Amino acid sequence: MAQVKRDYYDVLGVPRDADEEAIKKAFRRLARELHPDVSDDPEAEHRFREVAEAYEVLHRQETRDLYDRYGHEGLRTGGFRPENFDFGSLSDLLGAFFGDDLFGGMASSRRRRGGDVVAEVAVELSEAASGVTREVSFAVATTCTECRGSGADPSAGLEICSQCGGAGRVQRTARTLFGEFVTAQVCGRCNGSGKLVPKRCEACGGDGRIADERRIDVRIPAGIHDGQRIRLTGEGHSGDVGARAGDAYVVVRVAPDPRFVRDGDDIVSTVELTMTEAALGARRSIPTLEGEVELTFEPGTQPGELRVLRGKGMPILQGRGRGHHRVLVNVLVPRRLSEEQRRLLEDFDASVDGDTYRSDGGFFERVRAAFR
Ligand SMILES: [Zn+2]
Ligand SMILES: [Zn+2]
């Protein structure tokens, strides 16, 4: 199916009286966004071709005049054929036309940054609440101290690369939509370093790196959640010479505390009152993250009742203050009664009137509120 060709000015998003500079700018912006090197969008390649074609027509006065007067048809009869072309890598393209170094030199070098490492550390809930420092060890590749990462035997040194004469780059001629142009490629022999290793370093076997154990005291911040990662920038594997090291990550596992349930920044726990304590009232010592808190329960306390200890929950990570501690009341009912106890309860039951057990119907709502 033949597609209707879009207007070239629309494709570049410029007005019809745009000057050459505006057209160039629009193309550069769109190329950076749509080039298949940088965009994962399946539509990007099609759109990039469209943009490249629009630029090709509009940046030259002859083809632009032809297009302005006769449209797409005018170009076709005028012999312009935007056919399949190899537009090269984006950095080649922009480098050749605009002198851009798109990736800030990264793409022009094959020096790789070091890999990342991960270690896991387990802490108690109370430690997560207060914050704690832990020594964590990582198995990392570090730069060889013998050869300082060059991989070359220090006594033999390095040689200038014969392929590129030490420049680290070789020239390549590429044919693209825009014609032929010369780009500089990273030298394949020396990987862009311009140097070759005549004799390998014995300490690292020429790798430039050796396996090592790195121990780091890691500050685990108060309020950390189970499964969160802490990044230690630059503490991972060493990279190639001149490249930056990888990062180390610490995955924090917060062990569950049998006394508490953590609900975000809040803590939930239960307190058990006997049937008579609930009926007559009681005082109870409640464990919290910061020690015991004394609570008074009024006569007639109901199962599922909730007491909120404001600010007694977990510290809020990277924030101010703390969550709350919610205490959920459970009421214990006797499982086993002696003859006498049974008689006492039966006597009690005989004295009950309509007001004694007056329900407020809120049990389910209260339990639900405990877990929000
Ligand atoms: Zn070495
Ligand atoms: Zn070379």
Q: Look at residue 372 in the predicted model and tell me its pLDDT.
A: 62
- 76-121 pLDDT, tens digit each: 766 665 544 445 555 556 555 554 444 334 334 456 788 899 999 9
- The encoded tokens of residue 280 equal 């007559």
Phi, psi of 319 (to 5 degrees): -145, -170
Ligand positioned closest to the Cα atom of 161: 2
pTM across the whole model: 0.55
Give distance in angstroms: CA of 108 to centre of ligand 1: 25
Task: Give the C-alpha separation, 205 to 57, whole Å.
Answer: 56
Ligand positioned closest to the Cα atom of 241: 1
Q: Which residue has the tokens 């006594």?
A: 155
3-state secondary structure of 153: coil
Burial (CB count within 10 angstroms: exposed 0-12, middle 13-18, buried 19+), residue 175: exposed
Task: Give the C-alpha separation, 173 to 186, whole Å.
Answer: 13
Q: Look at residue 239 in the predicted model and tell me its pLDDT.
A: 84
Spans of the chain, pLDDT less than 70: 1-3, 36-37, 77-111, 174-181, 361, 370-372
Taking a 5 Å cut-off on Cβ, the residues next to ion ligand 1 are 144, 146-147, 201, 203-204
Which residues fall within 8 angstroms of residue 347, CB to CB, at 6 or more apart?
none
- The encoded tokens of residue 242 equal 């001149």
DSSP state of 198: S
- The encoded tokens of residue 98 equal 């605009």
Give distance in angstroms: CA of 196 to centre of ligand 1: 14
Nearest to 38 by CA among 111, 101, 90: 90
Task: Give the C-alpha separation, 34 to 46, whole Å.
Answer: 9
